[in-house]
Structure 1
Amino acid sequence: MFRSTCFTFALLACSTLPSVAGGRFAANDTDFLNLMGNHEGYRGYGTVSDYAPVLPDREVERMTIGEILAYQERIRAMGTRSSAVGRYQFIHETLSDLVEEEEVSPNLVFDEEVQTYLARFLMEDCGFYDTEAEIAALGNCLAGRWAALPMLSGPQKGLSAHEGDGLNHASIAPETFLAVLESRFTW
């Protein structure tokens, strides 16, 4: 597992993406990415929300981030209930914010590598790569990002942070989620 994680980091460091040198994303994040990605974008990197009124003109993984954002704007204008795309189900607002805040080029192809790289920014924002992060707070923050994840504490413990919106519910057991978070620094 450590080997595949290091290989992934090596690919990212050698790609056209901004540098991840200095261990910015240093942790065993593969188990979390797989757990969350398999529930969020269960059809893989080309997943488009079931609520989208139309599909994009071509495969999501072959479109640029700019093209994805334009597609999302188009379906939002059509009144879609969700603009989520990709394995990690990026909604328009989140993807747009990542492009702006992390200075990600909208010309990058929204392929497997880029989707994973973008998910890591959201994970980092919650403290995933911080060895001192309190697990329940980390889990709750991640659950706020991805609806399939359950809250780990508070009145919504075991439920999605987005429960009751008519679209989302937690599909992962809290114990499973907790175990993956607790193992993120074991090699």
Structure 2
Amino acid sequence: MDRTIPPAAALMLNDIASYEAPKGYDTVYANKMAQMPKPLTSMTLDAVIADGPRRTKLFGSSACGRYQFMTATLQDLRKTLVLMGTDLFTPDLQDRLALQLLKRRGYDKFMAGKMTLTAFGLAIAQEWASFPVLAPCKGASRQIVRGQSYYAGDGLNKALVKPEAVEAMLRNAFATNSLDVALGNVAVNTPNPAPIVIGPKLDLPPTPAAPTPSPPTTSPGVAVVDTRNIFQRIADRLRTAFPITQKDA
């Protein structure tokens, strides 16, 4: 995995790849790698794109690589990210491209608690056909139910993952991101971020003597020390993002 991929995203991409292309970065649709002129990872990005129509004709789809990129998707990413077509289609490049697909589908919003698990699950199912929707909805060609591929009915795709496994993956990724935030490994844009205290003991600095009472902690500009430990903060963030409903209780 490319080292620039955030841990939470890496967790998700590894799970996605395990279903989309368990044979790795050189995978083509229907696992017909023997019919490729050379391994994908030794081809340039432009060569992979140019070979797309041939793969569609011979294999049934242009999907390729560890994340089963479609030719149209690669063309769009190349244009949007201003990529050099002469770059090799290496594992690291594939990882970075897949991260961009996650971001397009709402990765940052989900990690910030601004997108529901069900909505992000739908977005992932729209990008990767082997993943199911998490609730009944209108699919690409017909009405579908929880657990089906968004593209069910197209004659090519079906869900390979149980919806419960997707939900577990997303919760694990959210928790991983929460831990990174708690440890200060991920920047969070907040107006007045509270200092994070990490360690087995919470030794707060003594409050200096003042002739007048200290202003209330709710006043603007006053920093409030978060005295909860890391795991308490993570638990609170998870409870906020995934509230327990009456049905769950």
TM-score band, normalised by shorter chain: 0.7 to 0.9
- Structure 1 range deviating more: 88-97 or 155-164: 155-164
Task: Tell me how large the CA RMSD over aligned residues is.
Answer: 2.2
Letter in 2 for 1:41: A
Structure 2 CA distance for partners of 1:53 and 1:167, relative to 1, 3 Å: farther
Q: What is aligned with 1:73?
A: 53
Q: Structure 1 stretches (4+) deviating beyond 4 angstroms?
A: 51-54
Letter in 1 for 2:116: E
Structure 2 CA distance for partners of 1:55 and 1:32, relative to 1, 3 Å: same
- Encode CA deviations 1:72-122: one digit per residue, 9 max, x unaligned: 13334x365211110100011111111112222222111110111000111
Q: What is aligned with 1:128?
A: 107
Following superposition, the deviation at residue 54 of structure 1 comes to 8.0
Letter in 2 for 1:164: G
Unaligned runs of 5+ in 1: 10-24
Give yes or no for the alignment of 1:178 onto 2:167: yes
Letter in 1 for 2:128: W
- Structure 1 range deviating more: 97-106 or 170-179: 97-106
Unaligned runs of 5+ in 2: 138-143, 177-249
- Encode CA deviations 1:20-74: one digit per residue, 9 max, x unaligned: xxxxx65611221111101101211010111869832110111111010011133
Contact 1:51/1:81 (<8 A) preserved: no
Q: What is aligned with 2:153?
A: 164
Matches of 1:180 and 1:41 in 2, distance apart? 17
Structure 2 CA distance for partners of 1:52 and 1:44, relative to 1, 3 Å: closer
Contact 1:53/1:75 (<8 A) preserved: no
Contact 1:69/1:92 (<8 A) preserved: yes
Letter in 2 for 1:186: A
1:31-46 to 2 correspondence within 5 Å?
31-46=11-26
Structure 2 CA distance for partners of 1:70 and 1:184, relative to 1, 3 Å: same
State the TM-score, normalized to the length of structure 1: 0.80
Which of 69, 72, 81 aligns to 1:90? It is 69
Give yes or no for the alignment of 1:139 onto 2:128: no
> RCO higher in 1 or 2 (8 Å CA, sep ≥ 6)?
1
Which of 42, 45, 67 aligns to 1:62? It is 42
SS in 1 for 2:38: coil
State the TM-score, normalized to the length of structure 2: 0.61
Structure 2 CA distance for partners of 1:160 and 1:136, relative to 1, 3 Å: same
Q: What is aligned with 1:28?
A: 8
- Structure 1 range deviating more: 26-35 or 52-61: 52-61
Contact 1:150/1:174 (<8 A) preserved: yes
Contact 1:148/1:169 (<8 A) preserved: yes
Structure 2 CA distance for partners of 1:108 and 1:47, relative to 1, 3 Å: same
Number of positions where the alignment pairs a residue of Structure 1 with one of Structure 2: 166
